Amino acid sequence: MSKKRILILTADAGFGHRSAANAIAAALRERYSNDCETQIINPMEDKRTPFFLRDSQSDYDRLVRLIPELYRFYYDASDLTVTSAVVEGALTVLLFETMRDVVRSYLPDAIVSTYPLYQAPLEAIFTLRGEDIPVLSVVTDLATVHRLWFSRAVDACMVPNEVVRDLAYSYGLAPDQVVVTGIPVNPEIARDTRTQDEIRAEFGWVPGMTTFLAVGSRRVERLLDTLNVLNHFGQPLQLAVVAGRDQKLYDDLQRMDWHGPTFLYEYVTNVPRMMRAADAVICKAGGLVVTEALAAGRAMLLVDAIPGQETGNADLVVRSGAGDLARSEREVLETISHWMKDGAKLLRDRSLNSAALGRPYAAYDVAEQAYQAAMRGASQHRHLFSRRTLIDLFNRNEVRWGDTRDLKDLDQR
């Protein structure tokens, strides 16, 4: 029997979508390398994708940092029922040719999407073909989730928790379509069973000292101010700081006069391992970093939350007692003081609450769902648009749709 082909679709608007895709691929290769082949594709980078959609990935960084209120307005406006339907129709037109050619090129037995813009054009392809390929969507936000994630035309929607599960139900997904898996994180978090000090030895960090890992990037505000508070806190603390390819931040970090053991990194690919070596994580409320910290069971000091989905992430962390949000230097000082009181009891409690929420095996659970879908084969999706509606839509917008019949070789494998 030939290997099944699993295609993972992602995007690079932020780090979370790509990271989830990489985690799923790693889990599939670890568990099912003898039975399936895995490919990760970013259709937003395809030359057939309209330039403004391609550019939206890099524009995301500028928008959320320079004009967060505008990003919040766009996010909220596009989440309205009527607007979302219009957006789905527009995405179907704009991405149809790209998605059609991606499917035709890779001939997948199952498709996993870690980005919410692909489900509508995929469903249009299947409607015109008259036969489906299993599609699984993987939601990469923890609480405040845009309705575009919840396409009724998927075989399964993988959600991070019961809060998002109930949200999926409210947007019309059937109970048998929604699976609580958690957000996929690097499988190394689950595999690595070394002690904290054993991992610290790998990095050359001081054993036995309270350690804070700060994760920065171009989208994290006020990180330097936060670290300055910890640098002058007055109790023995060890700091590890990742600049996340923010060269200015990295240069500023190198110029600081550090009063305790401090380790600076411009960019790393092993943040989950560093989290397991630390006692707490300093970060913004991004879906990826929060999910990894929960999977590692680490307390979080959140110093920023981008309006939109990150607000929900921050609320979830604080409400669950897994961390605290500190938007000023005074709040940072108060939080760290409370954490370290009574032999760091509150810090340990925050970590226990974080571990209770974490799902370190999420990538394996999603990989299992994808593999089983590839083995089962196509199912009949719920169609968002009729075939006639799609043909009229494409003809009005001068979209080439007739060669979808070239996809018939999928049915002949």
Q: What is the pLDDT of residues 4-30, one digit of tens each?
A: 999 999 998 777 899 999 999 999 999
Q: Is the pLDDT of residue 409 over 60?
A: no
Closest CA to 200 of 278, 280, 293: 278
Phi-psi region of 172 (alpha: psi -120 to 50; beta: other; left: phi over 0): left
CATH 3.40.50.2000 describes domain 4-185+361-412 = yes
How much is the pLDDT for 340? 96
Whether the CB-CB separation of 241 and 227 falls below 8 Å is answered with yes
Closest CA to 185 of 120, 276, 97, 55: 276
HSE of 306, CA atoms in CB hemisphere, 13 A: 28
CA dist 240 to 200, 268, 275, 359, Å?
11, 12, 10, 24
**C-alpha span between 365 and 383 (Å, rounded):** 27
Token couple for 157: 């929607």
HSE of 319, CA atoms in CB hemisphere, 13 A: 9
How much is the pLDDT for 393? 63
Highest mean pLDDT among 142-156, 330-344, 371-385 belongs to 330-344
How much is the pLDDT for 274? 96
Report, as an integer, the average pLDDT of 341-370. Answer: 96
Token couple for 133: 């390929």
Q: Can you point out the beta strands (E) in 122-266? A: 135-138, 156-159, 178-180, 211-215, 238-242, 262-265
DSSP structure class, residue 234: S
Proportion of the chain above pLDDT 70, given as a percent: 80
Looking at the chain, which residues constitute the CATH 3.40.50.2000 domain(s)?
Answer: 4-185+361-412, 194-357
Report, as an integer, the average pLDDT of 288-299. Answer: 95
Token couple for 48: 């057939």
**C-alpha span between 165 and 330 (Å, rounded):** 37
Let me know how many helices (H) and strands (E) the chain has, helices first: 16, 12
- CA 337, 338, 342, 345 dihedral sign is negative
Token couple for 174: 């059937």
**C-alpha span between 60 and 71 (Å, rounded):** 9
Q: So what CATH class is 194-357?
A: alpha beta
CA dist 313 to 33, 140, 290, Å?
34, 11, 8
pLDDT digits (tens, 9 = 90+) for 242-270: 998 889 999 999 999 999 999 999 999 89
How much is the pLDDT for 234? 86
Collapsed DSSP state (helix, strand, coil) of residue 381: coil
Name the β-bridge partners of 137: 113, 157
CA dist 146 to 72, 74, 410, Å?
12, 11, 32
pLDDT digits (tens, 9 = 90+) for 95-136: 888 888 899 889 999 999 999 888 888 888 888 776 778 999
Closest CA to 242 of 225, 221, 263: 263
How much is the pLDDT for 404? 46
Instruction: Tell which wins on pLDDT, 164 or 57.
Output: 164
